[in-house]
């Protein structure tokens, strides 16, 4: 099987990199430079007309959206148990993945690029502030979920990887993330996993290569 993950540093492509690694999948991570708009080329558009990473190309067929990728990786590599067993637990995991993807992620994006959602001059700080307020409500929900728990379920699963990315992105905006004690502890535990260390080392290498090419 041929697996190519289109990946960009800092982005949510970190999550499928982690779950593919945890699954023991043999995959190629192909860097995409968002700063030079490599995601806007005709070649990339043919893979993903939404012009976003991640894209997982499976035997030549592109799959987009984190949630779908984690479901596919889990089904393809069941021994890794990337989703919890049993229908109810599995759909709870899909619910969490969806919350990361459509509940939390859009507010991280608004803080990162406020002008993409409001082009009225002078509103950037306001968009960031409102978005941070909503984001904090969402992190509080997860903080409560993680109270007294090592992972979301009884072992590491895909939502741990996806949420790790969300929390990490939050730490990159000068927000008071330390208030979310359980999320912070989860983040620190996740940072110790071999799969996470591997993607962070890869991220550094890709950033260095992009800087050199600039
Ligand atoms: N819902 C998508 C979101 C993907 C997404 O927002 N990717 C961002 C990076 S985190 C991206 O590629 N942004 C570039 C752009 O939109 O031009 C998923 O979960 O996979």
Same domain, 17 and 55: yes
Give φ, ψ of 30 to 5 degrees.
-105, 115
Domain assignment present for residue 203? The answer is no
Nearest CA to ligand 1 atom 12: 52
Q: Is 48 in the pocket of ligand 1 (CB under 6 A)?
A: no
pLDDT (0 to 100) of residue 143: 98
For residue 102, give the ligand 1 atom closest to its CA.
1
Same domain, 47 and 109: no
pLDDT one-digit tens code per residue, 12-26: 999 999 999 999 999
pLDDT one-digit tens code per residue, 80-120: 999 999 999 999 999 999 999 999 999 999 999 999 999 99
pLDDT (0 to 100) of residue 117: 94
Q: Which domain holds residue 162?
A: 87-194
Angular region, 41: left φ>0, alpha ψ -120 to 50, beta rest = beta
Q: How many domains does the chain have?
A: 2
Alpha-carbon distance of 185 to 18, in angstroms, equals 18
């Amino acid at each position: 099987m041929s697996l190519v993950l289109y990946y960009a540093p800092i982005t949510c492509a970190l999550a499928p990199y982690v779950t593919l690694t945890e699954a023991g999948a043999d995959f190629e991570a192909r860097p995409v430079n968002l700063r030079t708009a490599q995601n806007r080329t005709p070649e990339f558009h043919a893979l993903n007309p939404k012009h976003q990473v991640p894209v997982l190309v499976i035997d030549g067929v592109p799959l987009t959206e984190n949630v779908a990728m984690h479901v596919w990786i889990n089904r393809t590599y069941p021994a890794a148990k990337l989703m919890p067993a049993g229908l109810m637990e599995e759909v709870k995991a899909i619910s969490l993945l969806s919350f990361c993807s459509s509940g939390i992620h859009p507010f991280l994006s608004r803080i990162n690029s406020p002008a993409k959602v409001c082009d009225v001059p002078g509103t950037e700080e306001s968009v960031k502030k409102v978005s941070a307020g909503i984001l904090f409500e969402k992190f509080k929900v997860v903080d409560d979920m993680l109270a007294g728990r090592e992972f979301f379920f009884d072992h590491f699963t895909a939502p741990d990887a996806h949420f790790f990315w969300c929390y990490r992105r939050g730490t990159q905006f000068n927000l008071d993330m330390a208030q979310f004690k359980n999320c912070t502890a989860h983040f620190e535990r996740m940072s110790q996993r071999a799969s996470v260390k591997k993607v962070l080392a890869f991220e550094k290498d890709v950033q260095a290569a992009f800087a050199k090419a600039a």
